[in-house]
Amino acid sequence: MATRRAKKRQALLEATERELNKIVAATQRSRRPLKGEAPIGLRVGKVLHRFKMAKHFRLDIREAGFSYARDEVKIAEEAALDGIYVVRTNVQKAALDT
């Protein structure tokens, strides 16, 4: 399960980066570049919402541009918990063994 989760996270990170790179390119194109914090933020928000990877990226949205970077610390923290699951229940401790 841990291996499957790690592969899935990597695939989602790569897919998110592909889409974010398109936005970066849109802000840098010569004809009708994407400008403004709000329009750029809306496009970025759609990508992050689709892939649910916002917590793994540091974003810099400016009036005339956009850049991002992976937050390797948060990615490593989540990876450390791969394969570890907690089950919460209201069953009495005497009724369950470890």
Distance (Å, whole) CA 63 – CA 36: 4
Instruction: Please report, as a single letter, which amino acid is at residue 12.
Output: L
Query: pLDDT at position 82, please?
Result: 87
27-70, pLDDT tens digit by residue? Answer: 999 999 999 999 999 999 999 999 999 999 999 999 989 999 99
Q: Which domain holds residue 13?
A: 2-95
Query: pLDDT at position 6, please?
Result: 92
What is the percent of the chain where pLDDT is above 90? Answer: 76
Greatest distance between any 2 Cα atoms in the chain = 70
Q: Domain total for the chain?
A: 1
